Amino acid sequence: MLPTPRADLVPNTVAYENEPLVKATGFREYDARWLFGSEINLLGVQALGLGLGTYIHELGHSRIVVGHDFRGYSLSIKQALTLGLMSAGCEVHDIGLALSPTAYFAQFDLDIPCVAMVTASHNENGWTGVKMGAQRPLTFGPDEMARLKAIVLGGEFVERDGGKLVRVEGEAERYLADVASRVRLTRPLKVIAACGNGTAGAFAVDGLRRMGVSEVIGLDAELDYTFPKYNPNPEDAAMLHAMADAVHAHGADLAFGFDGDGDRCGVVDDEGVEIFADKMGLILARDLAPLHPGATFVVDVKSTGLFATDPILAAHGCKVVYWKTGHSYLKRKSAELGALAGFEKSGHFFMNGDLGRGYDCGLSAAAAILAMLDRNRGVKLSDLRKALPTAFTSLTMSPRCADEAKYGVVDEVVKEYQDLFAAGGSILGRKITEVITVNGARVQLEDGSWVLVRASSNKPEVVVVVESTRSEDDMRALFRQEVKPRLGDRVGAYNQEI
C-alpha cells in the first residue's frame, strides 16, 4: 500500500523518490491541476489513481477510459495514474494520445461509465492535471472532487485484485468519424485550423476536412509541447491575433482556434474579428431557434446579456438560463434542463441532440458553426456578427485575493448588491432589475447592461466583467465608477484593466 501523500517533499531527496507528493491546492472545483515536480510527483499521481479507483468503486464502477494530451511528461503521468487505478482493481482502457472530447466519446463508444483524461488543457508547460467523470457525459463537480481529495490526502485507499489494462486501438478514428457526421458541407469554404502546437494539431485538420471543408489551412498544427509561439488558448490575444493574421493572409472565410486538449473552440470571422464564445453562441442560438422552437439554452454568468433580450429567441419561445461559470457546471446544468446547447464565454460549447453528445468538444462546436454557414449560403460569418445587437463587453479582469479570503469578499459584495436591489437602488442612473447569485453577483440593469463579481474557481483571484448596452465609455464607467470602488482595498492588483 502506498503511504499517505505528503505536501512537504522536495526533489533530489530520498523521500521524494520513495513517497507520494500531492499538494492539496491541486484539487480544484471540478478537475485537478498541479505543477509537475514541485506540487505532485509520479508517486503522487499513482496515489491519485489509487484514490480515484477507490472512489469509483464506491460509486459502483470499476471500468474507466484513460487518455493523455501532448506534453513531454503526459504519457508518464498517465502510466503512473494507470498503475494506481489498476492497484484499486480497475479495468483501465487506454486510448493513447487524445483530445479530451475523444476520451468523453470513448465512454459512449466503449460503453464505459468513467473517464480520466490526463491534461493541463491550455496551461503553460510544467502543468499537469486530470479531468475525471463517472456519469457520462458529465465530469466531476465540487462534491466529487471533495470526496476524491479526502481519499487521496487522507490515505483512505482500498487496494483490490483484478486490475487490468486494455489497449484500445482506433478510438481517434471513430471519434473523428462521429463528430464529422454532424455536417456535410455543400458550400465551398476556406478555413484556418489554429492549434497552437497542442494536441489538436494531430486531429483538427483531418476532422474539418472530413466535414467537407474544401480547403483547410493548419496554423501551428505541428505537435510541439514547448508551445514555441503561444499557448494553445483561444482566449489569449496572441493566438487570436495569429488567427486574424492568417485569415487576412489566406483570404479565409473564418478561423477556428482549439485549446491544448481540444474541448474549447475560438472563432475569428472573415474580417479578422474575434467572436468570443458567448456571442458566437448567440449567433448559433438565433440560427437554431426556428429549427428548434421552445429550446432551452444555458450560458455562464460571464456571458453577454444579449441572450436575455434577443427578439429572435423570444419570437420562437426559447428560454435562456444563466448558470455558474465552469465547464463541469455548464455541462451538468445543460443535461439537467435538457438544453439544446450550452455556451461558456471561455470557449466551451455543449451541443446536445443531433448536434452533439452533451460534452464540451471544440470540433463539435466547429461542426455546428459550419452547418449554420451551410444553411445560410451567401452570408458571411461577419454578416451574422454584425446582425447582433450592439453590446460593449469588458475584458475579464481578475484582482488578486487570497484563496482563504476571496469567497468571503464575494459574499459581502453579493449582500451589498442584494440590499441595494431591495431598496430600489440604481447604478449610474439605472435601476437594478435582478441580482443573479448562482455564481457571485451578476447585477442586471434596466437597459440590459450588467456587472459581475465572482470568485475564481481555481486561482487566488476575484473575477470582474461588465457589459454596457450604451457605449464603450459607459462600459468603462461601470467598472471604474461602480465595481472597482466597491471592491476597493478588499482586493489587490488587477491582472488587467479597461
Q: State the DSSP string of 143-182.
A: HHHHHHHHHHHTT-----S--EEEEPPSHHHHHHHHHHTT
CB 95 within 8 A of CB 109: no
Distance of alpha carbon 182 from the chain centroid: 21
Q: What is the pLDDT of residue 458?
A: 67
Q: What is residue 297's predicted lDDT score, i.e. its pLDDT?
A: 98
Rounded CA-CA distance 495/498 in Å is 11
Q: What integer pLDDT is reported at residue 236 of this predicted model?
A: 83
Using DSSP's 3-state secondary structure scheme, residue 306 falls into helix
Q: Model-level pTM?
A: 0.92
Task: Report how far residue 420's alpha carbon sits from residue 163's, in angstroms, rounded to the nearest whole number.
Answer: 58
- Residues ≥6 apart with Cβ < 8 Å to 436: 301, 322, 442, 443, 444
- Report the pLDDT value the prediction gives residue 239, as an integer from 0 to 100: 93
d(CA 388, CA 472): 16
User: Do residues 361 and 277 touch, judged by C-beta distance below 8 A?
Assistant: no
In whole angstroms, give the CA distance from residue 410 to residue 455. 6
Give the residue from 449, 418, 116 showing the smallest Cα distance to 308. 449
Residues 6+ apart with CB under 8 A from 315: 289
**The pLDDT of residue 243:** 98
**b/e code 185-220 from CB counts within 10 Å (16+ = b):** beeebbbbbbbbbbbbbbbbbbbbbbbbbeebbbbb
Give the C-alpha distances (Å, rounded to integers) separating 157 from 1, 90, 150, 152. 8, 13, 10, 7
Question: CA 26 to CA 78: how far, in whole Å?
Answer: 16
What pLDDT sits at residue 123?
A: 82
Give the pLDDT score at 122.
Answer: 82
Distance, in Å, from the CA atom of 131 to the CA atom of 81, rounded to the nearest integer, reads: 12
Q: Can you tell me which residue has the cell 465530469? A: 139
Q: What pLDDT is recorded for position 308? A: 87
Ramachandran angles phi, psi of 145, nearest 5° = -65, -35
What does the alpha-carbon distance between residue 321 and residue 91 come to, in Å, rounded to a whole number?
39
Neighbouring C-beta atoms of residue 279, cutoff 10 Å: 22
What pLDDT does 309 receive?
87
pLDDT under 50: residue ranges of the chain: none
Could you please report the per-residue DSSP string of 345-377? TTSBEEE-GGG--SSB-HHHHHHHHHHHHHHTT
CA distances from 246 to 220, 277, 406 (A): 11, 20, 40
